[in-house]
Amino acid sequence: MNSHFSWASINRPPTPNREEDPQKELSLREIINVKLVESGEKEKLMELLRERLVECGWRDEMKALCRAYARKKGRNNVTVDDLIHVITPKGRASVPDSVKAELLQRIQSFLMSSSSLR
């Protein structure tokens, strides 16, 4: 994750780089992402994820890890990039399986209700 990440970017379908290979087909993952964005489902899933991570205490745990790291290194010696580098692996690994399963189920339901991916 880079420091130029914008939550607004989740609302835009990815733009394939056609300069590399104009004949390149979109991957299934890219097609699904475009459909999720176009339908507004991706924003709904992101909101659900935020809610679940707050409910289970994950967000507070990540805040505490950030604060502890900043105290250890000294507040003036820590950048956002430092925090992202240190905390992201811990954060990803600590997302509860129940939250992952719920999101996966919602994505599967969306795909089943879509008439076609293309």
In a domain, 13, yes or no: no
What integer pLDDT is reported at residue 64 of this predicted model?
96
For 62, the domain range is 57-95
Write the DSSP string, 96-110.
-HHHHHHHHHHHHHH
Residues 77 and 62 in one domain: yes
In a domain, 4, yes or no: no
Residues 45 and 70 in one domain: no
pLDDT, tens digit (0-9, with 9 covering 90-100), for 38-48: 999 999 999 99
Residue 61 sits in a domain whose CATH number is 1.10.246.140
Residues 89 and 37 in one domain: no
Residues 52 and 101 in one domain: yes
Tell me the pLDDT band of 20, cut-offs 50, 70 and 90.
Answer: low
pLDDT, tens digit (0-9, with 9 covering 90-100), for 34-92: 999 999 999 999 999 999 999 999 999 999 999 999 999 998 999 999 999 999 999 99
| Alpha carbon distance 74, 60 (integer Å) | 20
Sort residue 77 into left (φ over 0), alpha (ψ -120 to 50) or beta. Answer: alpha
Q: At what angle do helices 41-55 and 58-73 cross, to 10 degrees?
A: 70
